[in-house]
């Protein structure tokens, strides 16, 4: 193999890639020099000079952009999965809190000390309100998940 700088004739390649220019499909021609390359379309006079470093950096940019796009799609899926799980846990927590509140109200009727029951009810209502707020925030960000069970008495 001889060095490119030792060649006496121009080294030109016709690539398999074709681009449409001025109504015709034209092959891309690459003319190689030691420090740079020129690109032009077959049958066209206009050529473009580019260094090998620029080709390398452009290839790196394309690869990084593709990886970022792939990573964003993956992170978007991951985030939505995490949000869905958090939403489900908040729904379960809300259901449990509502059951606890109903049980506490039943116990209050049985004669438990009024101050203790009121303190428990206030704490439960605060936690219920917090869970409802988080659930509403998730529901306003995205449509309801398909697997969400409908609540009895709501829209039936």
Mean pLDDT of 100-116: 75
The C-alpha atoms of residue 41 and residue 18 are separated, in whole angstroms, by 8
Mean pLDDT of 108-118: 72
Q: CB–CB of 15/28 below 8 Å? A: yes
pLDDT for res 132: 83
pLDDT in tens, 62-98: 999 888 888 777 666 666 777 778 778 888 888 888 8
- Say how many Å lie between the first and final Cα of the chain, rounded: 81
Tell me the three state secondary structure of residue 2. coil
Structure tokens at 130: 């917090």
Q: Is the predicted pLDDT of residue 120 greater than 60, yes or no? A: yes
pLDDT for res 51: 92
- The DSSP secondary-structure symbol of 4 reads G
């Amino acid at each position: 193999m001889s060095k490119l700088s030792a060649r006496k004739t121009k080294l030109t390649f016709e690539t398999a890639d074709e681009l449409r220019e001025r109504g015709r499909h034209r092959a891309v021609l690459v003319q190689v020099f030691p420090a740079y390359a020129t690109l032009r379309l077959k049958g066209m006079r206009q050529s473009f000079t580019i260094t090998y470093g620029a080709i390398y950096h452009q290839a790196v940019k394309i690869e990084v952009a593709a990886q970022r796009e792939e990573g964003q799609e993956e992170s978007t899926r991951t985030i939505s999965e995490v949000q869905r799980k958090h939403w489900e846990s908040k729904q379960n927590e809300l259901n449990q809190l509502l059951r606890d509140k109903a049980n506490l109200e039943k116990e209050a009727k049985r004669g438990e000390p009024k101050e203790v029951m009121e303190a428990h009810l206030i704490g439960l209502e605060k936690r219920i309100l917090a869970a409802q707020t988080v659930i509403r925030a998730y529901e306003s960000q995205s449509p309801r998940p398909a697997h969400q069970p409908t609540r009895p008495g709501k829209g039936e």
